[in-house]
Amino acid sequence: MNLVEAKYLEYTVSIFKKYLEYKRNANLPIYKILWKHNDKIFFANTLNIDDNYNILINKLTPGFNPYHDKLPIIENGKFPIDVMEIIHQKYFPSGFSNPINLYNNPLSLLKEAISVVESIDELRLDNPEYRLLNVSYLDSKIALPFILVDKDFELEPISLIEVSKN
C-alpha cells in the first residue's frame, strides 16, 4: 500500500479505539502497526495523533518556529471524516453496538481495518506529509525520530502489536 493508504490504515485502527473508549470500554490495548518495506521490518507511525485522537500537522509561525496544528475534520468525504463515518456506520450503527471482541483480536482488527481502507472509493488526503515518524527497525537497534520518503513509497502491514494498555 502507498503512504496515503497507510495513513488511512493507521487512523482506522486508532479510531476504533476512540469509539470503544467512548462506549466506556476501559483498559484497551494500544496497537502499533508492524510494517515491511524492501525486506526490512519496522515499527513506524504514518501520522502524528495526539491523546484526543486529533491528527497533528506540522506548521511554521512567521518567525519560523515549528508547531503542531490539528487537521480539521469539517469537510465531508475527506480524510479523516470519511474514515470516521465508515467506522461509525459499519461498527457502531446503534447505541448498543460494541465491537470490543473485534478490537481485542489484533489479526481480525488488522484485516477489518485494511478492508475499510480498501472500501473507500477515493482516498482524499490533501498535502500528505511524506515521512514516517518514530521509526524503529527490528533487525537492528536503529531508531529514528523520522525519515522522509518518496511519493511512491510502498509499505506492507504485517501485524498489529500490542504496545501497552491504558
47-101: per-residue pLDDT in tens? 999 999 999 988 888 888 888 888 877 666 688 999 999 999 999 887 777 899 9
Domain span at residue 100 reads: 3-165
Looking at the structure of the chain, the number of domains it has is 1
Q: Residue 33 phi/psi, 5° resolution?
A: -90, 130
Helices (H), 23-131: 81-91, 100-103, 106-119
Distance of alpha carbon 58 from alpha carbon 129, whole angstroms: 9
Nine cell digits for residue 8:
488511512
CB 8 within 8 A of CB 71: no
Mean pLDDT of 31-54: 95
CB 87 within 8 A of CB 16: yes
Per-residue model confidence (pLDDT) at position 146: 94
Indicate if the pLDDT at residue 150 is higher than 80: yes
Beta carbons within 8 Å of 157's beta carbon, 6+ residues apart: 1, 6, 9, 33, 34, 35, 36, 110, 114
Per-residue model confidence (pLDDT) at position 15: 94
